[in-house]
Amino acid sequence: MEIKANLETVKKTFKNSACLLVAVSKTKPLEDLKEAYEAGIRDFGENKVQELQDKQPQMPEDVRWHMIGHLQRNKVKYIASYVHLIHGVDSFKLLKEIDKQGAKVNRQIPVLLQIHIAEEESKFGFDRSELEEMLSNPEFQAMKNVEVRGLMGMATFTENQDQVRKEFRGLKSQFEELKSQSLPDFMKMEELSMGMSGDYLIAQEEGSTMVRIGSAIFGARNYQ
Ligand SMILES: *Cc1c(COP(=O)(O)O)cnc(C)c1O
């Protein structure tokens, strides 16, 4: 009941009703996912391949699984056949592996490129020069089994809302800039994944098309 009520509360505050809610269910038991499913959620986000692999066969087939965390190259093969969207593509090497695994399962795997926007060094993502370098690489332009659907970013973990807003605004302007360029056919600037429990309202005000929300729906997570 709690989860359903939380979902309603979160949805009610949305600044943009067209923004997709990805329910981040990492560390949460299957019962919680089922409750969210019953309440109408079809998009679930996980950040560990093993956990995703465990949950996927136990949930209905119409669930769209989002891989939201840092993804190791050697694990791409396990999720290649069914993953709906990989949010955190943070290197050319990883993208090449996804392309390779996509070819094996005969799919164009949808991904977002993660851009480093936070002050923290610890957060993953391309910086501007790395991204430009990849985009101009012929090997990138020849990719056949990935579909780049947009960008993803994580703001600095801070109480300073102005800073968070500034970072999201910077990501949005990078998104628009890319959109105005001539891009390969498999690259479409349509989705901008930004915003989590603590900053999704600011993210929506700054143009987010999908938010990844965990604790505001499922409650705080317990890590061992
Ligand atoms: C855990 C996680 C989230 C959700 O975080 P909450 O603060 O619980 O909403 C969103 N995005 C990524 C990449 C995450 O790892």
- Give 197 Cα–ligand 1 centroid separation in angstroms: 7
pLDDT at 224 over 70: no
Whole-model pTM? 0.96
pLDDT grade, residue 107 (50/70/90)? very high
CA nearest ligand 1 atom 6, residue: 214
Residue range 85-89: mean pLDDT, rounded:
97
Give me the helices (H) in the chain, please.
2-13, 30-38, 49-55, 76-79, 92-104, 128-135, 138-141, 161-179, 200-205, 215-218
Confidence of residue 1 (pLDDT cuts 50, 70, 90): low
Q: Is the CB of 27 under 6 A from ligand 1?
A: no
Judge if the beta carbon of residue 102 lies within 6 A of ligand 1: no
User: How many angstroms is it from 30 CA to the middle of ligand 1?
Assistant: 18
What are the tens digits of pLDDT across the range 116-149? 998 887 778 999 999 999 999 999 999 999 999 9
Q: Among residues 169, 161, 171, which one has the least CA distance to residue 123?
A: 171
Q: In CATH terms, is domain 2-218 a member of 3.20.20.10? A: yes
| pLDDT number for residue 221 | 87
pLDDT tens-digit series, residues 89-100: 999 999 999 999
